[in-house]
Amino acid sequence: MNTNTETKPDSYLQKMGRQAGVAMHITSLPGEHGVGDIADCARNFVDQLVEMELGVWQILPTGPTAYGDSPYQPLSAFAGNPMFIGLNPLVRAGLLDDSDTAAMRDLPRDYVDYGRLIPAKQALLDKAAERFISDTGHGLGAGYDDFQHRYGERWLDDYAIFRLLKSMHDQRAWPEWDQAYVHREPAALEKLRNDYRLDIEKIKVTQFLFEHQWQQFRAYAENNGICLFGDMPIYIALDSSDAWAHPQRLLIDRDGQPSHVAGVPPDYFSEDGQLWGNPLYDWDYHKETGYRWWIERIQHAANQTPLVRIDHFRGFEAYWAVPHGAKTARDGEWIKGPGDSLFVAMREAMGTLPIVAEDLGVITPEVDALRENHRLPGMVVLQFEVGNADFDIASVNENSVCYTGTHDNDTTLGWFHSNGDDTRSPEEIAQNQAGALQHTGGSAETLAHDMIRLAFSSKAALAVAPMQDYLGLGSEARLNVPGTTLNNWRWRMQAEQMQPDVLASVRTLVREGGRCNTAQGQIK
Q: Catalytic amino acids?
A: 311, 358, 408
Q: Are 183 and 257 in contact (CB under 8 A)?
A: no
Cα-based torsion angle of the residue sequence 376, 407, 24, 304 in order, rounded to the nearest 10 degrees: 40
292-300 contact pairs (CB < 8 A, 24+) = 293/246, 293/249, 294/342, 294/345, 294/346, 295/345, 295/346, 295/349, 295/350, 296/154, 297/77, 297/78, 297/232, 298/232, 298/346, 298/350, 298/353, 298/355, 299/349, 299/350, 300/77, 300/78
How many CA atoms lie less than 13 Å away from 180 in the CB half-sphere? 9
Hey, how many other C-beta atoms are within 10 angstroms of the C-beta on 341?
15
Strand 378-381 relative to strand 333-336, pairing: unpaired
Q: Are 74 and 61 in contact (CB under 8 A)?
A: yes
Q: Report the candidate in 163, 90, 75 with the shortest Cα–Cα distance to residue 124.
A: 90
Which of helix, strand or coil describes residue 312? Answer: coil
φ, ψ for residue 493, nearest 5 deg: -75, 150
Give 450-490 as a DSSP string.
HHHHHHHHSS-SEEEEEHHHHTT--GGG----TT--SS-S-
Strand 56-58 relative to strand 274-279, pairing: unpaired
User: Distance between CA 461 and CA 465 in Å, rounded?
Assistant: 14
Which residues are CB-contacts of 225 (< 8 A; sequence separation ≥ 6)? 50, 55, 517, 518, 519, 520
Number of helical (H) and strand (E) elements in the chain, helices listed first = 20, 12
User: Distance between CA 498 and CA 296 in Å, rounded?
Assistant: 38
- Side chain identity at 191, as an amino acid letter? K
Q: Are 354 and 296 in contact (CB under 8 A)?
A: no
